[in-house]
Amino acid sequence: MDITSFIANMPKAELHLHIEGTLEPDMMMSLAERNNVSLPYSTIDEVRAAYNFASLQDFLDLYYQGMNVLQTAFDFYDLTNAYLTRCFAQNVTHVEIFFDPQGHTSRGLAFETALDGITSALDEAERSLGITSKLIMCFLRHLPEDAAFETLESALPHKDRIFGVGLDSSEKDHPPPKFMRVFKAAREAGFIAVAHAGEEGSAANVADAVDLLEISRIDHGNAVLDDVVLTDRISAAQIPLTMCPLSNLRLCVVDDLANHPVRLALQAGLLATINSDDPAYFGGYISENFHAVQLALNLSFEEICQLGRNAYLGSFMNDEQKAAALALFDAFAADNTP
């Protein structure tokens, strides 16, 4: 099997995916019509033409605007269901996905509207497609910590359906110390913690997210490689990094995929993984991310296998589930590598 078919067919886990970032232009237009929401675009081509980002903030402005079309639990169900259908087609067997409750409660939706729609699609996908999942709610870091506390309060009755808390939105000007108290409260309530760090921000942000927010996984983490001491520390602790190549390219975090740090991350012993972040905005789901970075860096079968295994190792599956998933992955690799 050639490496392109290998990537397409290998079992995969996705650990960094914002469900609101899977809102494809055609679904945006049809939900706008269904819910009578006006959009500043009249055609799908106009939507796509607007997706030309110079920075994370440029993207976030359109991402929050796009969310306005999501109004009912049924909309969130349709959105999640469409993503999981694509997962099945790409042989993604496990997903750990983010949602941004504050992006919806700030528009007057109940916390449960998004939660109910997303989790009903996740439950159904486990039953009908065999795709397992965890749900992580992110705090929007451009909002005050008090607002994150309110969101945490809303989540407490739903701990059975929300596995962890994350931190996303504008990294510049909103470093980890701002959220120390709410992360501590969330961890004490039993949520695992992750955070976006070192995407547009520095290695110091990653160190603070690890030390002050006590996160179990780093989202992006590109900047880790800028600091040798931190790299050794994160590598020794095997704290996973959820890297997103096409996102980094489209948000100008890297100027060229040939300069993406994922190979350096593997060489440094970091538990790096490949993910799609906001695939509807960045031009590709998980397989396209693998294909693009493999091509740009000429990654070998061995490196692709390592990235594929790392996703299961870095997941929040229990040990038994991890062992079973890794056994399936290894059997696939043994049968299909040269």
Show contacts with ligand ADE in window 181-220 (CB under 6 A): 196, 199
Show contacts with ligand ADE in window 152-181 (CB under 6 A): 168-169
The one of Zn ion, ligand ADE, none whose footprint includes residue 208, by CB under 5 to 8 A per kind, is: none
Question: Residue 63 or 77: which CB sits closer to ligand ADE?
Answer: 63
Instruction: From 56, 155, 88, select the one nearest 115 (Cα to Cα).
Output: 155
Neighbours of 129 (CB within 10 A): 14
**Burial class of 139 by CB neighbour count within 10 A (0 to 12, 13 to 18, 19+):** buried
CB 220 within 8 A of CB 209: no
* 3-state secondary structure at position 18: strand
**Binding residue for ligand ADE, selected from 21, 166, 240, 261, defined by CB under 6 A:** 21
Strand partners, 325: none
Q: Supply the minimum distance, in Å, between the C-beta of residue 144 and Zn ion.
A: 21
Q: What is the helix, strand, coil percentage profile of the chain, to 5?
A: 60, 15, 30
Q: Is 56 in the site for ligand ADE (CB under 6 A)?
A: yes
CA 87 to chain centre: 14
Q: Supply the minimum distance, in Å, between the C-beta of residue 262 and ligand ADE.
A: 16
Q: Is 298 left (phi over 0), alpha (psi -120 to 50) or beta?
A: left
Instruction: From 128, 191, 131, select the one nearest 165 (Cα to Cα).
Output: 191
Question: Residue 111 or 139: which CB sits closer to ligand ADE?
Answer: 139
Catalytic residue status for 124: no
Question: Residue 60 or 305: which CB sits closer to ligand ADE?
Answer: 60
Q: Supply the minimum distance, in Å, between the C-beta of residue 278 and ligand ADE.
A: 5
**Burial class of 157 by CB neighbour count within 10 A (0 to 12, 13 to 18, 19+):** exposed
Draw the binding track, 278-317, toward ligand ADE (x: CB under 6 A; -: no contact).
Answer: x---------------------------------------
Q: Please, which residues have CB within 8 angstroms of residue 79's CB and are 6 or more apart in sequence? A: 19, 20, 22, 23, 27, 70, 117, 118, 121
Draw the binding track, 108-147, toward ligand ADE (x: CB under 6 A; -: no contact).
Answer: ----------------------------------------
Q: How far apart are CA 75 and CA 304, in angstroms?
A: 35
* Number of shown-chain residues binding ligand ADE (CB under 6 A): 11
Q: Which residue has its beta carbon closest to ligand ADE? A: 168
Instruction: From 16, 22, 10, 2, select the one nearest 274 (Cα to Cα).
Output: 16
Question: Residue 117 or 279: which CB sits closer to Zn ion?
Answer: 279
Q: Is 221 in the site for ligand ADE (CB under 6 A)?
A: no
Q: Supply the minimum distance, in Å, between the C-beta of residue 161 and ligand ADE.
A: 21
Q: Supply the minimum distance, in Å, between the C-beta of residue 277 and ligand ADE.
A: 5
- List 14, 199, 200, 303, catalytic entry: 199
Residues of this chain that interact with Zn ion (CB under 5 A) are 277
Q: Supply the minimum distance, in Å, between the C-beta of residue 211 and Zn ion.
A: 21
Q: How far apart are CA 283 and CA 291, in angstroms?
A: 12
**Binding residue for ligand ADE, selected from 12, 18, 142, 178, defined by CB under 6 A:** 18
Write out the catalytic residue numbers: 199
Per CB under 6 A, residues contacting ligand ADE are 18, 21, 56, 63, 168-169, 196, 199, 247, 277-278
